[in-house]
Amino acid sequence: MTAQLINLNLNNLESPDGFPTVDQAIAHLELLNAFFLLKKDIKAKDGLFDLCDSDATSKVSVEEIQEKRWVVYVTQAVERFRVWWDMISLPFEEYKLKVGDTQIVGKAAFNANFLRLTRTAVISRQDELPPLGKPTM
């Protein structure tokens, strides 16, 4: 991690004008770059998930096989996250929000507030973090 990233101030989640701060924009671009590099790396791993570039035919290109690797990778990551979330989440009733407690401007704002509350309230120990292996289905 570069010194520039270490020194970012990401503590203030809301700026006065409602726009992202420079530090938030830098962090966002770095995250996008990390996803780009991860995708590039996964697509280049010939044989990952038993998807081999040599299996390309006149109907299925190498690019399609490589894209399939990325799709499988993301699908497994989503499933691991879902399993973890189901394991640590408390019932919805425990997080009832009152309109006076938050500014609800629609379903998206409500969902964002709900996730922020549950994440803050539930994840408190390292053993509660998402798993890094294959999903257990």
pLDDT value of residue 100: 46
The answer to the question of residue 32 being in a domain is no
In-domain check, residue 98: yes
For residue 14, tell me if it sits in a domain: no
So what's the pLDDT on residue 97? Answer: 47
pTM of the model: 0.63
**Tokens coding 119:** 């994440």
Q: Is residue 15 part of a domain?
A: no
Q: What pLDDT was estimated at residue 54?
A: 95
Confirm if 66 and 44 have CB atoms less than 8 A apart.
Answer: yes
Residue 38: the pLDDT is 96
In a domain? residue 134: yes
Q: Which domain holds residue 47?
A: 42-137
**Structurally, how many domains does the chain consist of?**
1
Q: Show the tokens assigned to 36.
A: 């780009």
pLDDT at position 103 is 46
In a domain, 37, yes or no: no
Q: Is residue 117 part of a domain?
A: yes
Q: Are 95 and 120 in contact (CB under 8 A)?
A: no
Taking 50 as the pLDDT cut, the residues of the chain under it are: 92-110, 113-122, 135-137
Alpha carbon 7 to its chain centroid, in Å, reads 23
Report the run of H or E that residue 39 belongs to, with start and end.
Answer: helix 22-44
Nearest CA to 132 among 92, 89, 76, 87?
Answer: 76
Residue 19 in domain = no
CA-to-CA separations, 122 to 23, 62, 94, 100, 130, in angstroms, rounded: 27, 43, 11, 23, 12
Note the pLDDT of residue 80: 85
pLDDT for 120 equals: 43
Query: What was the pLDDT predicted at 90?
Result: 55
What's residue 134's pLDDT?
54
pLDDT computed for residue 27 by the predictor: 87
